[in-house]
Amino acid sequence: MPVVTHGWPLFQKAMSTVLKLGAETLGQKAARSNSEASWWTPHVMRYLLASAFSICIILPVIAGGLDAQSVNSAEFTSKVNKDKADPTVVKATILLDRAKFSPGEIDGKLGDNAKKALNAFAQANGLPTGQSLTPELWTKLVATSEDPVITQYKITESDTKGPFLKRLPTKLEDMKNIKALNYTSPREAIAERFHMSESLLVSLNPGKHFDKVGETISVANVLDRVSKPNIGRIEVYKSLQSVKAFDDQGVLVAFFPASIGSDEKPTPAGTLKITSTDANPTYRYNPNYKFKGVKSKEPFTIEPGPNNPVGTHWIGLSAEGFGIHGTPNPSKISKSESHGCVRLTNWDAAWLGKIVKKGTPVEFIDGDARKS
């Protein structure tokens, strides 16, 4: 804990300052009278000692901040910080991610996507459902893995060599002449690789340079944990903006927050089937879609890349133009509309796309989650 790690050096420094101040002040007082000095000495020293102890306790907490140690050693608390990344929430959401109950982009905050993931994890484990972190949920989450949730990663040349986009266009037409929709920086690439927001990555690594080969940084420990259950069916919940995957026995094995359809282009109804699954897809715009803000009356294509409009993976469905796919904006999942498709984070779409089989049914459900 930060207090244990940093407290003793700060206490030594505080005590040194207090004793020096006390000695100087006592010397001045001694010049007055012996009786006054003898009364004043124990009182002021008690005050100064109390101040030193306060400094040693308070300053480490302020200085400690958010780091690998505070996250890995985090324990359950019902009083999490709602305004900034909280160690307990960071730990819980990384554990959810590793259990394939995705909180979406890991930002350290107990937002809507994290709450939905907690609820789905509770459902899968026979615990009371809700959208808050409870002692029972915490115990179950921690039991899923003994490995640290934050690990160390050394930046490699492949992380920094690019090529990177100088600027990502906001309009589809402006993307059609770009050779590849790459990341805009090493920081964006590293954050996405470890399922993190860029702000959380920076908070965990103050003063670190993400474009420096050999730099060691703290990241979410989410790689090399690819479970491969047999997916028997997928359910898409329109109003809840979420996706659930069940195995052949009907057991809930994965959950994902999602952006699902819009008034402009609603998501299909009923049950479709998976017809294809492709990594690094090319985006093809059909002018018959008449998307808002797109003026082109001619079809055009946008080259592959993580910032392609459909992200890094496309799972085709048995309705023309519809699919489950990734996104260039993981922070906006379930917070913005899609063009009729089911939009997941790139890493969630890639995981699902690698294990799902052609012919798997995908049911679209209009109301709230039914009992499955």
Picking from 24, 39, 64, the residue at the C-terminal end of a domain is: 64
The CA distance from 349 to 347, in Å, is: 6
The Cα 197–Cα 114 span in angstroms is 13
> pLDDT tens, 327-368?
999 999 998 765 679 999 999 999 999 999 999 999 999 865
262 and 205 share a domain?
A: no
Angle at which helices 112-124 and 135-142 cross, to 10°: 80
pLDDT single digits (tens) 62-120? 334 799 999 999 999 988 888 889 999 999 999 999 999 999 999 999 999 999 999 99
Identify whether the C-beta of residue 140 lies closer than 8 Å to the C-beta of residue 116. Answer: no
Global confidence as pTM: 0.81
User: Any bridge partners for residue 15, and if so which?
Assistant: none
* Residue with tokens 């115990």, as numbered in its chain: 139
Please report the pLDDT score of residue 288 as a whole number: 84
Q: Considering 225, 242, 265, which residue would you say is the last residue of a domain?
A: 225
User: What is the Cα Rg of the chain in Å?
Assistant: 27
Cα separation, 221 vs 191, whole angstroms: 12
Count the domains in the chain. Answer: 3
pLDDT higher than 60, residue 205: yes
What are 247-296's pLDDT values in tens digits? 999 999 999 999 997 666 778 889 999 999 999 999 998 888 778 778 88
Q: Is residue 334 part of a domain?
A: yes
Q: Is residue 371 part of a domain?
A: no
**Residue span of the structural domain in which 217 resides:** 65-225
Q: What CATH number should be reported for the domain holding residue 275?
A: 2.40.440.10
When the pLDDT of each residue in the chain is averaged and rounded to a whole number, the result is 83
Q: Are residues 279 and 332 in the same domain?
A: yes
Nearest-angstrom CA–CA distance, 2 and 67: 9
SS3 32: coil
| Among the listed residues 121, 117, 67, 114, the one whose alpha carbon sits nearest the alpha carbon of residue 89 | 114
- Residues 46, 71, single domain; the answer is no
Reply yes or no on whether the pLDDT at 223 is more than 80. Answer: yes
pLDDT at residue 293, rounded to an integer: 79
pLDDT reading at 188 higher than 60: yes
Domain check: are 121 and 102 in the same one?
yes
Q: Examine the fold and report which residue of 225, 243, 277 is the final residue of a domain before the chain moves on.
A: 225
